[in-house]
């Protein structure tokens, strides 16, 4: 018997940086009715160019997961509420173990097709104040999944949602995730998924690449990556002949991630180099301060900072890491 349920909530949202140190569309508002286009819910926005699209037009997440997550991560329990994962469709009872790639779903006048699992990223770690939540979600099939839109139309809150066609009962979302992240050396499964017509291109290309290069991806940067901030040099002070202090402020004037004693930031310079610098205790709100000592044998880092960086320049600065530089 195919799974079916009822739409508890419909959600869409604008991209914002409020309450976060990065731009995101994860915070979505509830609506009782939504028009669904080929690209998803009308008015719904994504912060990154690689989010959204035809294969990732609509995101669904099982609301029953939130109760389980509250018990597993009690310190973040108040944050595990409907809509917390940025889903468009809040529905209970349909999950990664009973929904399959290629399933055709009807809701109201809309027909959707399941394309791929959601691949969680480090932004979830910030959303829930828990540094392991993205990895936990990935490896325990609590991610949600995406749809492409086969027939546009309207969806109302409390509409029934049901699977009407299932061409690939063997390829549940959880099964695809198993071969994507765990049993990565299964050539038979990899070959089948690399040619599965309904599978979203993003995930399909992962399996196709494995067959060509025989390498497994490193997901660490996606799961544990640091937020990159665009920061403007607002002040430079010569502390000595060899040391300069740089004052950095976000170009969008947003809040800065907090840091503790001994923290450092990594600065990506326009010449392509990345260098880590300790943060100075800052008494200025909205400003990071770093001191750069010019090294006699500089490979371009401190030399560039001393000779090329001026007030008004914009640098890419990764959020603080709260441990000392070794």
Checking if the pLDDT of 20 tops 80, the result is no
Q: Which residues contact 195 (CB under 8 A, 6 or more apart)?
A: none
pLDDT in tens, 81-127: 999 999 999 999 999 999 999 999 999 999 999 999 999 998 898 88
Checking if the pLDDT of 80 tops 60, the result is yes
* pLDDT recorded at residue 246: 94
Checking if the pLDDT of 173 tops 50, the result is yes
* pLDDT recorded at residue 255: 79
Checking if the pLDDT of 46 tops 90, the result is no
* pLDDT recorded at residue 326: 44
Average pLDDT over the chain, rounded to an integer: 90
Q: How confident is the model at residue 48 (pLDDT cuts 50, 70, 90)?
A: low
φ/ψ region of 251 (left if φ > 0, alpha if ψ in -120 to 50, else beta) reads alpha
Domain locations in the chain?
4-222, 226-318
Please, where are the H alpha helices in 183-235? 187-194, 201-213, 220-224
Burial of 34 by CB count in 10 Å (0-12 exposed, 13-18 middle, 19+ buried)? buried
Say how far apart CA 119 and CA 220 lie, in whole Å.
Answer: 12
H or E element at residue 66: helix 64-72
**Assigned CATH for 226-318:** 2.40.30.10
H or E element at residue 105: strand 104-107
Checking if the pLDDT of 141 tops 80, the result is yes
- When pLDDT is averaged across residues 132-157 and rounded to a whole number, the result is 97
Say how far apart CA 66 and CA 211 lie, in whole Å.
Answer: 36
Q: How confident is the model at residue 325 (pLDDT cuts 50, 70, 90)?
A: very low
Provide the β-strand partners of residue 316. 230, 268
Checking if the pLDDT of 19 tops 60, the result is no
Q: Which CATH superfamily is domain 4-222 in?
A: PK beta-barrel domain-like (2.40.33.20)
Q: Where are the strands (E) in 193-325, listed by range?
A: 228-238, 243-250, 264-268, 274-278, 288-293, 314-318
pLDDT in tens, 242-286: 999 999 999 988 778 888 878 888 999 888 888 889 998 766 788
Give the range among 130-139, 194-203, 256-265 with minimum mean pLDDT.
256-265
């Amino acid at each position: 018997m195919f799974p079916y349920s009822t739409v508890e909530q419909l959600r869409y949202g604008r991209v914002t940086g409020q309450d976060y140190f990065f731009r995101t569309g994860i915070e979505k508002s509830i609506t009782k009715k939504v028009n669904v286009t080929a690209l998803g819910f009308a008015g719904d926005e994504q912060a990154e160019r690689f989010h959204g699209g035809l294969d990732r037009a609509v995101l669904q997440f099982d609301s029953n997961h939130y109760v389980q997550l509250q018990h597993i991560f009690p310190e973040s329990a108040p944050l595990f509420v409907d809509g917390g994962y940025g889903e468009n469709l809040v529905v209970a009872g349909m999950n990664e173990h009973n929904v399959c790639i290629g399933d055709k779903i009807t809701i109201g006048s809309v027909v959707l097709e399941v394309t791929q699992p959601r691949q969680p990223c480090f932004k979830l770690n910030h959303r829930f104040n828990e540094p392991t939540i993205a990895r936990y979600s990935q490896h325990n099939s609590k991610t949600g999944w995406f749809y492409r839109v086969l027939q546009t139309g309207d969806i109302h809150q409390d509409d029934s949602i049901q699977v009407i066609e299932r061409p690939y009962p063997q390829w549940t979302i959880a099964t695809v995730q198993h071969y994507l992240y765990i049993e990565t050396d299964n050539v038979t499964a990899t070959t089948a998924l690399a040619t599965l017509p309904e599978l979203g291109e993003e995930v399909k290309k992962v399996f196709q690449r494995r067959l060509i290069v025989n390498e497994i991806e490193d997901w660490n940067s996606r799961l544990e990556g640091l937020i990159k901030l665009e920061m403007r040099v607002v002040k430079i002070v010569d502390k000595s002949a060899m040391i300069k202090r740089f004052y950095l402020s976000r170009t969008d004037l947003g809040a800065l991630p907090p840091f503790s004693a001994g923290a450092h930031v990594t600065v990506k310079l326009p010449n392509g180099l990345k260098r880590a610098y300790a943060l100075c205790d800052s008494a200025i709100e909205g400003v990071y301060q770093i001191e750069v000592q010019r090294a006699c044998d500089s490979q371009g880092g401190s030399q560039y900072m001393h000779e090329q960086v001026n007030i008004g320049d914009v640098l890419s600065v990764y959020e603080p890491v709260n441990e000392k530089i070794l």
